Amino acid sequence: MSMNRLVLAVATLATTWIAVPAFAADLNGPISLKDQPVYRRAAGPCYFRSDVGYSWSSDPHSTFTQTDLGGVFITNAVGSDIDDNWLAGAGFGCGSGPRGIRAEVMFDWRAERDVTGVLAAPLGGSLSTSIQSSTIMFNAYYDFGHWGSFVPYVGAGVGVARNEMDGVTFSTSPNTQSGDTNWSLAWSVMAGAGFQLSERVILDLGYRFIDMGKAQSGTADTSGFTNNPPLRVDDLTAHEFKVGLRLHFGG
């Protein structure tokens, strides 16, 4: 085969390889960028977050000590219940990506919850007050990985709760007993899912069970008496459902 024929054969073969895909593309219509798969980068490892939610409180265990005229203990039984209310929170965290460990610091503020109780005999009657609880929690999560834009997680947290009790009123007395503020150990367990809305924003839907410790009134009242038995409200627990946004940053 002469050199001219060899060059002609190579040129013909190259033209055929180029022309066949183009012809096939013409048969199937033009290729558009919108027909190609779209890949979204994982959000950055660190984030700021803000949440709002609702707190369904469990009825607490309450006590109010009663004694006879000689100071002998009679009973401290109180049948009590506590209202539900809304909450708001903000925090900062970092993690290892869409699969793995994530940690954060979170502050949550809960609106005042009314507490009512029925006192046992011989005192009898009812009482009412309100409690406002705030928490600072150190939370750790495990993200299970991406299912599309969906990332489920579980977590647990430990921290402190500030429980502020308002003044306590009694149906059997015109005096109001003073309130007080107490700090307690708090802990929680959580589960939920993140939905990646963009490369920087994740919608977070979550559930949390939290134990915020106890609250207690003061011992003084408006009559000037300073040695009343305090009202103690233990086991301040709640089931909380939250929705929030996480704004991610970092590489």
Name the nearest CA neighbour of 156 among 187, 135, 184, 134.
187
Q: What pLDDT is stored for residue 91 in this prediction?
A: 98
Q: What pLDDT is stored for residue 214 in this prediction?
A: 97
Q: What pLDDT is stored for residue 36 in this prediction?
A: 47
164, 157 Cβ separation under 8 angstroms: no
Across the strands, what pairs with 18?
none
How many Å apart are CA 185 and CA 190, to the nearest integer?
17
pLDDT mean values, one per 10 residues, the chain (251 residues): 44 43 45 48 83 96 93 94 97 84 97 97 95 98 87 97 98 96 98 94 97 97 94 97 94 69
156, 207 Cβ separation under 8 angstroms: no
Q: Which residues contact residue 78 at a Cβ distance below 8 angstroms, ignoring those fewer than 6 apart?
A: 62, 63, 64, 117, 118, 119, 120, 127, 231
Provide CATH code, domain 3-249. 2.40.160.20
Q: What pLDDT is stored for residue 12 in this prediction?
A: 47
Q: Are strands 150-165 and 126-144 parallel, antiparallel or unpaired?
A: antiparallel
